[in-house]
Amino acid sequence: MRIFLITAGATREPIDPVRFISNRSSGRMGFALASAARDRGAEVTIVAGITSVDPPGGVRVVRVSSAKKCEGRLTMKRARPRSSWPRQQYLIIEPKEKATTKIKKSEAELELKLERTADILGEVAQGRTNGQLLIGFAAETDNLLKHARAKLAAKAWMR
């Protein structure tokens, strides 16, 4: 039996106790992949961030809210090996400093210093074993093939 681990949806990175930075991922592509794999007899687990659609039935869903929580779910050791890791791109920035109280609108200016979150896709790629297939998806706004090839090379997917 083929085993799929698929991520879907957006993550939210807090900037204070009531606000966050996110991305526009709806989860539709990840859920469609999960449905297709399930329909072909695969065992499917979805690590889902915030989604605007319901997950498909007949699959295991693990909910996460932030990139750090997603990373923990994708890189933790499992009792049985994963044979395939389809992957959508997750948010790659998080606030460098999180405010401990709500940032008030009365402040004249708001400056957020951001730092990159861990490269979850790259870490998963480095940790895969022989026979595992890793498929990555990323949203781009320009130079699609050029950026896709650069990501492929940077994440050392080819062995």
pLDDT per residue rounded down to tens, the chain (159 residues): 788 888 888 888 888 899 898 888 898 988 998 999 999 998 888 888 899 999 999 998 988 888 777 777 766 544 333 333 443 333 334 466 778 888 877 767 777 888 787 777 777 777 767 777 777 776 778 888 898 888 777 776 544
CA angle 85, 73, 27 (to 5 degrees): 65
The predicted structure's pLDDT at residue 41: 92
Integer Cα distance of 20 and 12 in angstroms: 6
The predicted structure's pLDDT at residue 51: 93
Q: Is 130 a catalytic residue?
A: no
Query: What contacts 156, CB < 8 A, 6 or more positions away?
Result: 122, 125, 126
The predicted structure's pLDDT at residue 77: 40
Integer Cα distance of 157 and 159 in angstroms: 6
Supply 24's token pair: 């526009």
The predicted structure's pLDDT at residue 76: 53
The predicted structure's pLDDT at residue 141: 80
Query: What contacts 42, CB < 8 A, 6 or more positions away?
Result: 1, 2, 3, 4, 84
The predicted structure's pLDDT at residue 57: 96
Task: Please choose, from the candidates 141, 111, 122, 7, the residue with its C-alpha nearest in 3D space to the C-alpha of residue 66.
Answer: 7
List 7, 11, 23, 88, catalytic entry: 23
The predicted structure's pLDDT at residue 153: 79
CATH no., domain 3-97+109-154: 3.40.50.10300
